[in-house]
Amino acid sequence: MPDSLTELTIHEAHDLLRSRQLSSVELNRAYLERISRVDPEVKAFVTVTDELALEQAEEADRLLAQNGASPLTGIPVLVKDVICTRGVRTTCSSKILENLIPPYDATVVEKLNKCNAVLIGKANMDEFAMGSSTENSALFPTHNPWDLSRVPGGSSGGSAAGVAARETVYALGSDTGGSIRQPAGFCSVVGFKPTYGRVSRYGLVAFASSLDQIGPLTQDVTDCALVMNAIAGYDRRDSTSVPQPVPDYTQYLNGDLRGLRLGIPKEYFVEGMQAEVATAIKAAINQLEELGAEVDWEVSLPHTPYALAVYYIIAPSEASANLARYDGVKYGFSYQAPSMWESMEKTRQYGFGAEVKRRIMLGTYALSAGYYDAYYLKAQKVRTLIRREFDRAFEKYDALVTPTSPTVPFKIGEKVDDPLQMYLSDVCTLPVNIAGLPGISIPAGFADGLPIGMQIIGRHFGEETILKIAHAYEQSTDWHKRRPPL
């Protein structure tokens, strides 16, 4: 057993719980104690569910005593506060939903409950998942455990920081344009965005419905495969869920990359990329080659530069429609005014933050009469071109390898007044969502003590291939074993 219980991965904790060397109550008490110690600095949590966690831990111990355990039984999970949890506050880090308590669980939470996982809390995020730094939370910014003066990435910054700071064993996030992978890269953890339709979105508060996807943030790739085994699969309550068989992802973590062909798209090594990031990613790709993969450095995806513009038309357009439901009538914050229209206007004025209002206005403009064809329709056509370009690449390659982000984590406040610079933080991750592909970010090095992430992109429903590549690389390095100096 390690010196600290909060150093355990899912698979290590499961072995100790199953052999009765450790109880779930002991494990969760250790995490709750660590949260009380380090979260005042990190601020990963919106809500700590301490009483619920200990109740669930006691139930898990009863199951473990009867050998009725799954790999996730009794192990604490932090859930991004955009995913509905019955009886537990779900705020989307917005004032408009500050006191919302959902009457139902999201499908992914139901699936974790069936595994008898322990909900230890809800994670801070950019409001309604709109942001790249978790500075857009209406509640408070989250800090990067590697350097508390820097951002953890976003919008799943609380989830990534919570895992990196060892305040939870693993977490769930959502990814609309890189919101799992970019913070995973910034916090030196594993972040996985499945194929669109692989994991149910039922109970995920919608930002951009054709782009959003739920996925895990974990300490290593084995844990990532275990969580995917639990949460993936068809759900009739989600009209975009795909009835595709789900393999046992852990069976593919065998370390053999011989015969796999990897493409390195040159457009992802963008102008302005930090030199140390490019150096680290090239070294990581060379390592994959040493592990037996065939690498082609001369790959071109020429429509990649248009992905940023396409995303910032499609995502705000869908957001402007999705967020119209927050009118102060049915639920959430409501401003009382003499007339219905004034009440609705003031509810949205005071309930939404600046970034959310900015994106609603962008989207409403793009969908308005006279502009729909020029913006939204054109963006959808370019989206098709980007997707076809990826399809052609995957006729030749098993996976594509890129940086996760062009820089290491930046200072809190550094980009907050420059939305375009902030949007460029996701330039490497956005095309994956536009095409609906699976992608993973894994730790790949450090520059001046700050994490660097490598992204591996797979073909549709090719999660097992990118997990296999990620696991082989991870096992040949020790980046994932390093801990922030908290």
What stretches of 397-455 show up as alpha helix (H) in DSSP?
419-423, 430-435
In the numeric block, the tokens 């100790």 are attached to 16
Note down pLDDT in tens along the chain; length 486 residues: 555 899 999 999 999 999 999 999 999 999 999 999 999 999 999 999 999 999 999 999 999 999 888 999 999 999 999 999 999 999 999 999 999 999 999 999 999 999 999 999 999 999 999 999 999 999 999 999 999 999 999 999 999 999 999 999 999 999 999 999 999 999 999 999 999 999 999 999 999 999 999 999 999 999 999 999 999 999 999 999 999 999 999 999 998 899 999 999 999 998 889 999 999 999 999 999 999 999 999 999 999 999 999 999 999 999 999 999 998 888 888 888 899 889 989 989 899 999 999 999 999 999 998 899 999 999 999 999 999 999 999 999 999 999 999 999 999 999 888 877 787 788 999 999 999 999 999 999 999 999 999 999 999 999 999 999 999 999 999 999 999 998
- Asked if residue 153 lies in contact with residue 187, where contact means CB atoms within 8 angstroms, the answer is yes
Catalytic residue, chosen from 70, 155, 156, 241, is 155
Q: Is 132 a catalytic residue?
A: no
Q: Is 155 a catalytic residue?
A: yes
The CATH architecture to which 1-486 belongs is Alpha-Beta Complex (3.90)
Q: What order of strands is seen across the sheet that includes strand 261-265?
A: 45-48, 118-123, 76-80, 170-175, 213-218, 190-193, 439-447, 450-458, 399-403, 261-265, 294-299
| pLDDT given at position 422 | 80
Burial of 466 from C-beta contacts in 10 A (0-12 / 13-18 / 19+)? buried
Count other C-beta atoms under 10 Å from residue 232's C-beta. 23
| pLDDT given at position 70 | 95
Catalytic residue, chosen from 80, 111, 415, 468, is 80
| pLDDT given at position 271 | 83
Catalytic residue, chosen from 179, 320, 425, 441, is 179
Please choose, from the candidates 41, 115, 134, 39, the residue with its C-alpha nearest in 3D space to the C-alpha of residue 76: 115
| pLDDT given at position 221 | 98
Pairs from 446-449 (Cβ < 8 Å, separation ≥ 24): 446/188, 446/280, 446/479, 446/482, 447/274, 447/276, 447/277, 447/280, 447/408, 448/276, 448/408, 449/146, 449/147
pLDDT in tens, 88-141: 999 999 999 999 999 999 999 999 999 999 999 999 999 999 999 999 999 999
Predicted TM-score (pTM) above 0.75: yes
Q: Is 396 a catalytic residue?
A: no
